[in-house]
Copies of this chain bind each other. A is one copy, B any other.
Amino acid sequence: MSGTAEEAAGWWRTAVSETGPDVIRFRGYPVEQLIGRVTLAQTVWLLLRGELPAGPQARLLEAALVAAVDHGPQAPSIAAARMAATCGVGLNSAVATGVGLLGDVHGGAGQQCMQLLERVRGRQDGGAALPDAVAAELAAYRERRAYVPGFGHRFHSRDPRRDPLVAMLAAAAADGVVPGAHLAVLVEVERQLGERRGSPVPVNVDGVTAALYCELGFAPELARGLFVLARSVGVLAHAWEETQAGTRIKGPLPPSFSAPYDGPPLRDLPGTAGEPG
A residues in contact (CB < 8 Å) with B: 1-41, 43-44, 47-48, 50, 52, 59, 62-63, 65-67, 69-77, 79-80, 82-84, 86-93, 95-97, 99-108, 154-161, 163-165, 168, 221-222, 224-225, 228-230, 232-234, 236-241, 243, 248-270, 272, 274, 276-277
Contact = CB atoms under 8 A, between A and B. Distances in A.
Contacts of A5: 1, 3-5, 7-8, 257
B261 A14 contact: yes
Given A105-B86, A234-B17, A27 B264 contact: yes
Contacts of A37: 269, 272, 277
Contact of A36 (B4, B168, B224, B251): B168
Given A15-B241, A47-B69, A77-B87, 19 more contacts: A14-B72, A17-B71, A17-B234, A24-B161, A32-B163, A32-B276, A33-B274, A35-B63, A35-B277, A36-B66, A39-B40, A40-B40, A73-B251, A87-B103, A89-B104, A92-B102, A95-B99, A221-B240, A252-B252
Given A8-B8, A28-B267, A95 B228 contact: yes
Contacts of A63: 35-36
